[in-house]
Amino acid sequence: MIDQKNIWRKLLRSLVVTRSAEFPVVALCFLAATTFWFLNALNKEYTTKITYPIEFEYNKEQFVSTVPLPSQITLNVTGYGWTLLRKTLGIDTQPIVYHFENPLKTAFITRHVLLPAVTEQLKEAKINYIENDTIPVAFDKKMQRKVALQVDNLQLELKENYFITDTVQISPDTITFEGPAQFIKELPDLLIINVPGKNIDEDYEEEVTINYTQNPLISLSSDKVTVRFRVREFLQQTVEVPVEALRLASNKLLHLPNQKVEVDYWLLPEDEPKTTAQNFGVVADLSKWNKADSSISLTLIKKPDWVRNVTLRPATLKLVK
């Protein structure tokens, strides 16, 4: 009687030995068959969708697009496998170019308007239709504008008792903005620069970034400027200055309760010796008294050029009869 188990055992052993010995041959045959099938398939005609690059031409010196333009469009095409494979992989692919004749008068591009340009430039395949329905577009005239720059001295954080001793210099002192006219026209005439740093107690010269919330469609000639200024430590001084009363005939009965006021001011140490009460002048115009409370404001009419932050104490006086 035939031993079936031995037969199956021998058959399986034979197959294993055969596969182990002839595997490279089998693999080579499989690769050849696959390659033949692939090449044969590429010689056939197919209908499919492909994504294809597109470029839009217009006078970029005069106009600017205010909405993003697509870089690709989707096409339904019919063509040979070789052609479709190259287009899909982007091999030897030239973008379709669409030219705007009058950008300012164009609001959108329909598939019917775009189809002739696509058909003309993509001749290796038949264009059945364009998948994109409508491409919205918007253009504006390109415009330039110079804007002056300025540092807000009040926001500078100097060390206590320190003051700026000269003019704050900005280089460059103007910035040119370029972009769509509708946005450029909205720019301010003066742009305030924020200077970083706290407790500044020495001469300042730093490159400062312009803190401007930029529209991505607007470009700047430079986004950094150099700011320079000098600082010195000042002294605070106080002197008593006589108040001059300016009397009118209608106010002959009114007079000041006292004839002096304290004047506070700041100055450099080297200017202290030459500064006296005679350098200041304070007046009270009695014709401008407040009848409700008999008060009158004092006015500083004279001070030396070398002092800073002059204040009067008190700033008002009560008149008496």
| pLDDT tens, position by position, 77-91 | 777 655 665 666 666
CA-CA-CA-CA dihedral for 39, 43, 48, 54, to nearest 10: 90
In order of 26, 40, 80, 248, the CA distances from 43 in angstroms are: 26, 5, 6, 112
Which candidate, 180, 187, 184, 235, places its Cα nearest to that of 64?
180
DSSP 61: T
Rounded-to-integer distance, Cα 78 and Cα 86, Å: 13
CB 81 within 8 A of CB 42: yes
Give me the residue label for tokens 């007079």: 255
| pLDDT tens, position by position, 134-151 | 899 999 999 999 999 999
Angle at 118 between CA 115 and CA 124, to 5 degrees: 125
Q: From the CB of residue 296, how many other CB atoms can be counted at a distance below 10 Å?
A: 22
Q: Which residue has the higher pLDDT, 158 or 51?
A: 158
CB 232 within 8 A of CB 163: yes
| pLDDT tens, position by position, 202-251 | 999 999 988 776 788 999 998 899 999 999 999 999 999 999 887 754 55
In order of 166, 258, 286, 317, the CA distances from 254 in angstroms are: 44, 12, 8, 12
Rounded-to-integer distance, Cα 259 and Cα 320, Å: 13
Q: What is the residue-averaged pLDDT of the chain?
A: 82
Share of the chain above pLDDT 90, in %: 46
Buried b (16+ CB within 10 A) or exposed e, 72-92: ebebebebebebbbebeeeee
In order of 102, 180, 220, the CA distances from 62 in angstroms are: 11, 10, 17
Q: Which residue has the higher pLDDT, 204 or 319?
A: 204
| pLDDT tens, position by position, 243-288 | 988 775 455 666 777 778 999 999 999 999 999 999 999 998 887 8
Rounded-to-integer distance, Cα 190 and Cα 177, Å: 12
